[in-house]
Structure 1
Amino acid sequence: MSKTISEQHVKKIAQMIRNWPVEHALNWDTICIGSLEILGWDTPPTRQALDKKTAIKVAYKAKKEQLKSDKHKLGGISRPRSMLDAMKKITRLQNDNDLLKAELSKMAELANRLIYNASMAGLSRERLMAPLPTVKEPKIKT
């Protein structure tokens, strides 16, 4: 059996790398083992054999950069000390979110009521949406 990596294999291996799960380490050893099923070989290909294929190399570098970027973004967020702390924080944030949604709903209702009443009093929409006048502060003489 010939051990050649076809263009079809290259595309499938590159796709496997692009869809690599975050919870598993991404390195050449794991890629070689992961490509066994795609290639249908008895032994995994070498890192050098896969690295020669441009599409695989580009997919690997892009995925590594994405993982680094994601890790850097999450680096600024403090980690809870325990699962209980995380659950408490999630619950608190959900409650805050619900309160803010309720407050926003009340404010929207109030704005609609004011606009309706103002229009009933004869004010046009343009007049209602006019910017607030600027107040010039008097200069203090010293």
Structure 2
Amino acid sequence: MPKTITEQHERKIAQMVRNWPVEHALDWNAVCIGAQVILAWETPPTRQALDKKIVIKVAYKNKKEQLKLEKQNLSGMPRPRSTLDAMKKITRLQMENDALKAELTKMAEVANRLIYNATISGLTRERLMAPLPTIHEPQVTLENSRR
């Protein structure tokens, strides 16, 4: 009886590829070995067998592209000169992050107060959440500019 890869297997293998850890290289050989565990086969499936499955192929291509972009982004980042510089930068960024979180909390409190007061004044939630009106600038024509 030939071995088959079911749709459920395809989804599980594609999910494995999507969750592939960054610290491990992604290649078809590694995917085949990982798929062997999911399929519970004695031998790993071939690269060609997995490549024929569209779901797996798309997940592999997308993850490969994502890893490539992450690598490019990391290579463009400036490196700290020393561990002390890195620690100072981390501390500064953590303080900035904490300040922004506190500011966001205050803004949320103000928004809640405004929504509450508007609601008890008779405005509905739909009215409060209505989009802002668009302002149409009058078009200047040659005739209008002579007046």
CA deviations over 1:45-88 (Å, ceiling 9, x no partner): 11111111111111100111111122222222112355444223
Cα 1:98/1:12, change in 2 over 3 Å: closer
Cα 1:98/1:36, change in 2 over 3 Å: closer
Q: Which residue of 2 aligns with 1:30?
A: 30
> Does residue 1:65 correspond to 2:59, yes or no?
no
Per mean C-alpha deviation after superposition, the further-off stretch among 9-18 and 78-87 is: 78-87
For 1:99 and 1:18, the matched residues in 2 are separated by: 32
Q: Which residue of 1 aligns with 2:8?
A: 8
Q: Which residue of 2 aligns with 1:20?
A: 20
For 1:64 and 1:98, the matched residues in 2 are separated by: 31
Partner SS for 1:64: helix
**Structure 1: gaps (5+ residues):** 105-142
Cα 1:83/1:36, change in 2 over 3 Å: farther
For 1:69 and 1:35, the matched residues in 2 are separated by: 25
Moved over 3 A (4+): 81-85, 92-95, 98-101
Per-residue deviation at 1:98? 7.4
Partner SS for 1:90: helix
Per-residue deviation at 1:14? 0.8
- One-letter amino acid of the structure 2 residue matched with residue 16 of structure 1: M
What TM-score do you get using the length of structure 1 for normalisation?
0.61
Q: Which residue of 2 aligns with 1:44?
A: 44
Percent of residue pairs bearing the same amino acid type: 68
Count residues in correspondence.
Answer: 102
Cα 1:98/1:6, change in 2 over 3 Å: closer
1:43-122 to structure 2, matched below 5 A, reads 43-95=43-95, 97=96
**Structure 2: gaps (5+ residues):** 104-147
What TM-score do you get using the length of structure 2 for normalisation?
0.59
Per-residue deviation at 1:94? 3.4
For 1:45 and 1:100, the matched residues in 2 are separated by: 52
For 2:25 and 2:46, the matched residues in 1 are separated by: 18
Per-residue deviation at 1:43? 1.1
What's the C-alpha RMSD, in Å, of the aligned pairs?
2.6
Larger Rg, first or second structure (1 or 2): 1
Partner SS for 2:25: coil
